[in-house]
Structure 1
Amino acid sequence: MRIGLDMMGGDFAPLEAVKGVKVFLESGATDVHLVLIGDEAALAPLLAEAQLDQSKYSVVHSSQVIGMDEHPTKALKEKPQSSISIGFYLLQNGKIDAFISAGNTGAMMVGTFYTIKAIEGIQRPTISTLVPRDGSGYGLLLDVGINADCKPENLVQFAVLGSLYSKHILNNPNPTVGLLNIGEEEGKGNLLAQATYPLLKEHPQLNFIGNVEGRDIFTNKADVIVCEGFTGNVVLKMAESIHDMAVRRHIDDEYMHKFDHETFGGTPVLGVNKPVIIGHGIAKAVAFKNMISLAQKVHESKLVDKIRESLVK
């Protein structure tokens, strides 16, 4: 398995990316060869200092970097030798099996849609976030930002994608699905929620349990919670603020630690033809290590193939 990693993406790259590679390789990972995409001159001294097993990685030189504030489409077009552009070229042409970046999120999304593209039958790919539960494990919330306006059919596909992710990546054998709403009763909510409910209820592949409310998000009530990206992103940013507030107040609590984005690493783009993992711009070593581990798990679980199979059914 060959996993490509954008070494120049993120606020603390390439140093923290190299540190993350070191942590991953020292964890005893086997059958993974890392393809490190970045400026060789910048990477060489860091890799030498890290004293990594050179049989476990190779370096692909990139002479350009897409900044975090650059226009995604324009940057990809004008910077074909950027680490993100080269990563998608390698992924599209089968040189790597998965691609990871903590760089410009917009460029990652545009690159995903225009190179490896959505799986046939997927109306809108989506991204999710892990939701720490006040108990054990994590739930899944999607969409969390790339689909601000949705149709009922989109939310149904998000539910299917989330269920497959929950089952094959989070190891929930029969994940429950809830629709985020302002009340538990059927018929509650806005027009989108009212139209989506019966579609989820009748879907043969979903273990739908009904509506869930905001107070249920951090509980075990549903393994997968679906909503449109506008609401999902508000919830995501609120969850991030909870962790930031806990850090500022020096609250040392096991549950609060679960909100740390380093624990998640990154999130896959669900519904596209190959594994793409998008990380937080402030990712550090642990996050990079966890992104690599996630990419490995997504590839080994054949999640993309299982999504294709679900569409046939």
Structure 2
Amino acid sequence: MNIGLDMMGGDLAPLEAVKGVLQYLNEDSSASVLFLIGDQPKVEQLLDEHKVSRERIQVIHSEQVIDMHEHPTKALKEKQRSSIAIGFHLLATGKIDSFISAGNTGAMLVGALFSIKALEGVLRPTISTIIPRENGNTGLLLDVGLNADCKPEQLNQFAIMGSVYAQLMLDISNPRVGLMNVGEEEGKGNLLAQATYPLLKENKHINFIGNIEGRDVLEDKADVMVCEGFTGNIILKLAESLYEITHRQKIEHEYFERFNFENYGGTPVLGVSKPVIIGHGISKAKAFKNMIKVAQQMIEKDVLGKMKEELK
């Protein structure tokens, strides 16, 4: 398999990206090849400095970089020689099987939607996040920001895609799906929640357990938690703050360490035809290594292919 990595995306690139590649190669013995897309002289100098073997590496030169605050659509159109634009071209033409970047999130989402397209029947792709549970398990929350406003039919599809991801990537055999709401009883919530509930209840492709509340997010009540991106992003940022606060207060506890985003690498765009992984802008080596691992696992387990089957 061929995995493409944007070496220029992120505040700490390309140095931390190179360190992440080294960690990945040291831990992984598969035959996968990494296509490193970026400023070739800079990337190759860092590869030499860190004694990274070139056996499973190809460096693809890019002359431009899409900065974090550039307009995504305009930047992709005007910067055809940027690392992100080249990455999506390689993905769309089959030269690579997945693409990873910790760069401009908007550009990654636009590229995913317009370069490789959504899976057949998908109304809107989604992004998710891993939520650590106190008992050691993990949950999946989606959407966490891609779709601030949603229709009930979209949340219904998110539940299917989240269930497939939980089964294949989190090893949960029969994931419990819960609808984020302000109460447990059927009929609670705003118009979106009230209209979504019956769709989830009738959906034979998921194990729907009903409504869940904010207090259930960190508890082991539902494996897949579904909501629109506005609510999901607020929950995500609140969860991220737990890790930041415990570090500032020098509180050491293994549970709070699990909120470190680098443990999970990045978030895949679910509902597009090929794996696209989006990383945090401040990703360090560990995050880059884990993003590559996520991409590899998604390819090996044909996650998007399974989603396509369930969505039919």
Per-residue CA deviations over 1:253-301 (Å, capped at 9, x if unaligned) read 1000011111111010000000000000000000000000000000000
Question: 1:116 matched to which residue of 2?
Answer: 116
Q: Is the 8 A contact 2:160 2:311 kept in 1?
A: no
Once the two structures are TM-superposed, the CA of residue 174 in structure 1 deviates from its matched residue by 0.6
Taking the aligned partners of 1:142 and 1:124, their CA distance within structure 2 comes to 12
Taking the aligned partners of 1:249 and 1:69, their CA distance within structure 2 comes to 31
Once the two structures are TM-superposed, the CA of residue 42 in structure 1 deviates from its matched residue by 1.1
Once the two structures are TM-superposed, the CA of residue 89 in structure 1 deviates from its matched residue by 0.2
> Aligned AA for 2:267?
T
Equivalent runs, 1:86-101 vs 2, <5 Å: 86-101=86-101
Q: Is the counterpart of residue 240 in structure 1 residue 218 in structure 2?
A: no
Taking the aligned partners of 2:104 and 2:41, their CA distance within structure 1 comes to 22
Taking the aligned partners of 1:137 and 1:43, their CA distance within structure 2 comes to 38
Question: 1:29 matched to which residue of 2?
Answer: 29
> Aligned AA for 2:190?
N
Taking the aligned partners of 1:311 and 1:236, their CA distance within structure 2 comes to 26
Q: Is the counterpart of residue 280 in structure 1 residue 280 in structure 2?
A: yes
> Aligned AA for 2:281?
G
Per-residue CA deviations over 1:102-134 (Å, capped at 9, x if unaligned) read 000000000111100101100000000000111
Q: Is the counterpart of residue 268 in structure 1 residue 268 in structure 2?
A: yes
> Aligned AA for 2:195?
A
Taking the aligned partners of 1:288 and 1:106, their CA distance within structure 2 comes to 19
TM-score w.r.t. length of structure 1: 0.99
What residue ranges of structure 2 are gaps of 5+ in the alignment? Answer: none
Q: Is the counterpart of residue 161 in structure 1 residue 148 in structure 2?
A: no
Per-residue CA deviations over 1:149-189 (Å, capped at 9, x if unaligned) read 01110100000000000001111011000000001111110
Taking the aligned partners of 2:31 and 2:177, their CA distance within structure 1 comes to 34
Equivalent runs, 1:1-313 vs 2, <5 Å: 1-312=1-312
Q: Is the 8 A contact 2:183 2:212 kept in 1?
A: yes
Once the two structures are TM-superposed, the CA of residue 240 in structure 1 deviates from its matched residue by 0.8
Per-residue CA deviations over 1:176-221 (Å, capped at 9, x if unaligned) read 0000000111111011101111110110011000000000001110
Once the two structures are TM-superposed, the CA of residue 137 in structure 1 deviates from its matched residue by 2.3
Q: Is the 8 A contact 2:183 2:211 kept in 1?
A: yes
> Aligned AA for 2:88?
F
Q: Is the 8 A contact 2:277 2:295 kept in 1?
A: yes
Per-residue CA deviations over 1:78-105 (Å, capped at 9, x if unaligned) read 1000000000000000000000000000
Q: Is the 8 A contact 2:157 2:311 kept in 1?
A: no
> Aligned AA for 1:186?
E
Over the aligned positions, Cα root-mean-square deviation in angstroms equals 0.6
Taking the aligned partners of 2:60 and 2:232, their CA distance within structure 1 comes to 36
What residue ranges of structure 1 are gaps of 5+ in the alignment? Answer: none
Q: Is the 8 A contact 2:134 2:218 kept in 1?
A: yes
> Aligned AA for 1:251?
I
Once the two structures are TM-superposed, the CA of residue 54 in structure 1 deviates from its matched residue by 1.0
> Aligned AA for 1:102?
A
Q: Is the 8 A contact 2:101 2:277 kept in 1?
A: yes
TM-score w.r.t. length of structure 2: 0.99
> Aligned AA for 2:77?
K
Once the two structures are TM-superposed, the CA of residue 29 in structure 1 deviates from its matched residue by 3.1
> Aligned AA for 2:192?
L
Give the secondary structure class of the aligned counterpart of 1:54.
Answer: coil
Once the two structures are TM-superposed, the CA of residue 242 in structure 1 deviates from its matched residue by 1.0
> Aligned AA for 1:12?
L
Taking the aligned partners of 2:122 and 2:29, their CA distance within structure 1 comes to 33
